Amino acid sequence: MVYIDDWDTFKKAVEDLYMASPLKTRYLVKYRNVDTKLVLKVTDGPTCIKYKTEYASDIKKMEKLNRSLLKKMLNTKKNLETKPADASQANNTITSPKIGKKKKGKKNNK
């Protein structure tokens, strides 16, 4: 595990790690209210990168990193190829089952 002190270095390392193995990369946010510490951890298994801070101003930086990673997760070629615009509208229709009359009482065997 490597703690990185500089935010820009951490952000660059996280984005590089995600781009190298997007299916294996995990992102963890941990906050301890007792010591007011925020720890960000990004790992793909063998490589683990951590950033620790006590400053509230770093929360804005964390939000920007989250947005950046989410954009990278959503803008993959696979997602763009499998979802054409017309097909997504056709799949959004909901059909309800037909409801018949229920008979009350005993069943008559004839």
Mind listing the pLDDT tens digit of every residue in the chain (110 residues)?
A: 778 999 999 999 999 999 999 999 999 999 888 988 999 999 998 999 999 999 888 889 999 999 999 998 888 666 545 555 554 455 555 665 566 666 666 766 66
**Which distant-in-sequence residues (6+ apart) come within 8 Å of 26 by Cβ?**
42, 43, 44
What pTM does this model have? 0.63
Domain spanning 2-78, CATH class: alpha beta
The region, left, alpha or beta by phi > 0 then psi within -120 to 50, assigned to residue 49 is beta
Q: Which two tokens stand for residue 19?
A: 């781009």
Q: Where are the domains of the chain?
A: 2-78
